[in-house]
Amino acid sequence: MHSITEDEKDIIKRLTARLPPTPPAEPDWSDTSSISNEEAELDGFTQKPPAFPLPPPTNPPQEILDIDSKTPDAHVPRDARLIRLTGVHPFNVEAPLTDLFNEGFLTSPELFYVRNHGAVPQVEEASLFDWEFTVEGLVDRPFKISLRSLMEDYADQIITVPVTLVCAGNRRKEQNMVRKSKGFSWGPGGVSTALFTGVPMSAIIAAAKPTRRARYVCMEGADKLPNGYYGTSVKRNWVQDPNRGIMLAWKMNGELLRPDHGRPLRAVIPGQIGGRSVKWLTKLILTESPSDNWYHINDNRVLPTMVSPEESAADPSWWTDDRYAIYDLNSNSAIAYPAHDEVLPLSTRAVETYDVRGYAYGGGGRRITRVEITLDKGKTWRLAKIDYPEDRYREALENTNLYGGRLDMFWRETSFCWCFWSLAISTDDLAASADIMVRCMDEGLALQPREMYWSALGMMNNPWFRIVIHRENDTMRFEHPTQPALMPGGWMERVKKEGGNLVNGFWGERMGSVVDEEQVMPEIKEDIKMTKDGIDRIIEIDELRKHDTEEEPWFVVDGEVYNGTAFLKDHPGGAQSIISAAGLDSTDEFVAIHSETAKAMMSSYHIGSLSEVSQSILAEGSSDSSGSNTSRPLFLDARGWNSAALHSKKIVSWDTRIFTFQLEHEEQLLGLPVGRHLMMRLKDPDDQQTVVRAYTPISEQTTPGFVDVLVKVYFDTTEQKGGKMTKALDQLPVGGRVYFKGPIGKFEYLGKGLCSINGDRRTVREFRMICGGSGITPIYQVLRAIMQDPNDGTHCTVLDGNRLEEDILCKDELDAFAAGNPDRCRILHTLTKAGDGWQGLTGRIGENLLAETCPSPYDDNHEGQSDTLVLICGPGALEKTAHKVLTGLGWKDDDLLFF
């Protein structure tokens, strides 16, 4: 390693022009009036910039996440919001769809999707510009060139262009719900857009003087994988076609590439699947035939739909037929709003129309020319409005300079980027419909299909995107098809559990016996044998723990023990994928991620069965086998589960308990901000199904070593079954373990009236808090933080509804807050079955009580948000009633927050 020279410092200074000023949260892309001429000059503009989109706010992560600390990627800081699709390692992620969509046309590097096959190559800062790649093969003048020389020798050809990259697996979770493919479960967030700065690849190829026989450009990266370095190829005539825009880039949104995105140099292939845009580029090889790289042959293909994973594994000829390789993207669209589980009121005083919004993209430079919405399963269609932010760059002057590169867009007709569409639909029409579906068409008249084309790799999934509408009293709730990775939810999962047929082309509905019997897929094998005949060895927990090692990792799937040592070198995701599972029960992630082919291979690694006692211990996660890092200051992890043992259980009433869990060490803090929640996971003792629920602890955020969770237990009655989670917790013995993950939730109280809602800060003067039953716990958390701070002048009114007086949770604490802070705290209890001695309010929380406690805060000239915020948490009926009444009183949805 050597220190950075003055020349290199000068290069860095010149090539990392600072980002433009941060645009507003809801940017008006036509407004660049805030950018001064001086700022424009510093940012490399030749004049005051025209009205094209600028990058969203960026907050580069600085710290290594705990989940990455024991992997080969321990040098890469990452954003904790990203959804991990393949466990701990390798890093394959997408952003939550709403977060991605809300960033606008350009995506910040921290939320840009990532597809890594293995470890991220580590490049020291001092040697960044010494990075070299070769141009070789069928060329007359092979050469090697450094990044420094590339930027200097081709300085007059440096360009900046907006490009949308899309993983070929985008929306694959929908295919995996029909039948498990060989790929992991992407949601609709495997798409992102950025401004890339670099040089046309054609200029580099031309300098090497290709021979006439050279028909393909092969690319190879520095990411060393089980089957060699990652590589692929595209046709040479594509590279030489300026309309294709193929380039080598070192900047993304005006800053040097970050490690996950190819630092320091990558290929960018607009209009084609992301797998062709090789990261950490080390070689360009001119060849007569397509790449023979293992990853080019065995990945990024759409095999015929009748070819099963087993057949494709048995017959290699399917993979060597280049007709099935994927290059150009297909036409695709998705709905971002309504979001999954979004609730829309049907009150006549609520919004009369709703803007349904989403994205669409085409491939090969073809523009999306129409987006259509149907509310009746395709019988009739409505034309959506399309916005093409990409076109604003074409309006820039010819010599406009952006981030050190010429904005190379004014002459182009090809479309490199996604577009946004919207359609205002009356709430009456939505309420009368069962679902919303979208399809798009490109300028080549390629239409997004109605039905899914399932294939062994699950790629290029693009049937109509469907959202189900549920009518629930006076509201509508919207349900997306799936949620990414292992996240539960979505109508496809629900329909499958209910026995619906997802492959009949009618979204699980029963349309008649003929259709029901049709199968567009090969017959699915119900049971795949994953064990080896003749193996009767019983393995105890202590022996399993001895193999929680990198040298000989054992792991458990469905109670069977497997030795992953022999597969360490060959695993497509790298050795770390197996090492991370060592000593653990990996059933959930294994089943969700791996294909039928992978399951069939497992018998080769089967070594025995875990004893029943050991299975119980492993499921509970005993305190000395958690494998956690006891030096971690915070217990919670937003992307991973950690277990804690039940320390004690306090019976508050006949149906209410306080469960105290012991964290990993006595100084460890829970790590839950005020107003946020956590997820709890355990096995139902009756049927051994995994149960996950959200809770808000009642213990102080500053309490080390322990966490208290107040739970109302819902027992079975003659009329209905009780609550799975609450009954399972009530049966949990002291010492039993529960898994936790978090924080979750969109609200956070920062103190002195300052809140954060979905990342947007807001100051409030007063809270009105409406709750019922165990819904008091998140309310209590916020109220306590306010009342314990004598310098916090925020006023709080709590309306707490219960059945009986003994049902009131935290009553002494709530009343103490009111008594100690009479000028800023008011507590109102109301009972539906009050005893004779009850002195408080009676009746359900309805129109009268809400009108008294929550009168409209607005005057006649009010615009925007109020300085009063209503927090609501309780049973569904309470929340629906409160929403209906409050909107009827004139409250705006922006001032109502449902926990």
Would you say 83 and 190 are in contact if contact means Cβ atoms under 8 Å apart? no
Interatomic CA distance for residues 523 and 311, integer angstroms: 13
Give every CB contact of residue 35 below 8 A, 6+ residues apart in sequence. 20, 21, 43, 48, 49
Q: Which is catalytic among the residues 116, 300, 332, 401?
A: 300
User: DSSP code of 773?
Assistant: G
Would you say 388 and 414 are in contact if contact means Cβ atoms under 8 Å apart? no
Would you say 466 and 437 are in contact if contact means Cβ atoms under 8 Å apart? yes
Q: Give the rounded distance of the alpha carbon of 515 from its chain centre.
A: 35
Q: Which is catalytic among the residues 79, 99, 167, 642?
A: 167
Determine how β-strand 281-287 pairs with β-strand 132-137: parallel
User: DSSP code of 752?
Assistant: T
Q: Give the rounded distance of the alpha carbon of 29 from its chain centre.
A: 25
Interatomic CA distance for residues 118 and 654, integer angstroms: 53
As a residue count, the chain comes to 899
Q: Among this protein's residues, is 332 annotated catalytic?
A: no
Using alpha carbons, list the distances in angstroms from residue 395 to 399, 438, 681, 834.
11, 30, 53, 70
Backbone phi and psi for residue 3, each to the nearest 5 degrees, phi listed first: -75, 160
Residue 469 is encoded by which pair of tokens? 């509408």
Residue tagged 């710290």 (tokens): 63
> What's the alpha-carbon Rg for the chain, to the nearest Å?
29
Give every CB contact of residue 298 below 8 A, 6+ residues apart in sequence. 227, 319
Q: Which is catalytic among the residues 43, 299, 585, 730?
A: 299
Q: Among this protein's residues, is 102 annotated catalytic?
A: no
Residue tagged 């932010």 (tokens): 389
Q: Is 167 annotated among the ligand-binding residues?
A: yes
Query: b vs e for 103-127, b when ≥16 Cβ sit within 10 Å of the residue's Cβ?
Result: bbbbbbbbbbbbbbbbbbbebeeee
Interatomic CA distance for residues 749 and 739, integer angstroms: 25
Sheet holding 766-772, edge to edge: 841-842, 825-831, 795-802, 766-772, 868-873, 896-898
Strands (E) located in 78-227: 83-84, 92-94, 114-115, 132-137, 143-146, 159-166, 191-200, 216-225
Residue 296 is encoded by which pair of tokens? 């080019």
Determine how β-strand 382-383 pairs with β-strand 368-374: antiparallel
Interatomic CA distance for residues 788 and 807, integer angstroms: 25
User: DSSP code of 56?
Assistant: P
Q: Among this protein's residues, is 299 annotated catalytic?
A: yes
Using alpha carbons, list the distances in angstroms from residue 691 to 495, 679, 686, 688.
19, 10, 11, 9
Using alpha carbons, list the distances in angstroms from residue 151 to 198, 258, 400, 646.
8, 18, 18, 59
Interatomic CA distance for residues 283 and 136, integer angstroms: 8
Closest CA to 4 of 132, 147, 127: 127
Residue 831 is encoded by which pair of tokens? 């009972």
Closest CA to 345 of 882, 899, 843, 753: 882
Q: Is 675 helix (H, G, I), strand (E, B) or coil?
A: coil
DSSP per-residue string spanning 150-178: HHHHTGGG-EEEEEEEE-TTTTHHHHHHH
Interatomic CA distance for residues 799 and 776, integer angstroms: 10
Backbone phi and psi for residue 564, each to the nearest 5 degrees, phi listed first: -90, 5
Q: Across the chain, which distance is largest between two alpha carbons, in Å?
A: 99
Residue tagged 């990024």 (tokens): 300
Question: Residue ranges for the binding site for Mo-molybdopterin?
Answer: 167
Question: Residue ranges for the binding site?
Answer: 167
Catalytic (active-site) positions? 167, 299-300
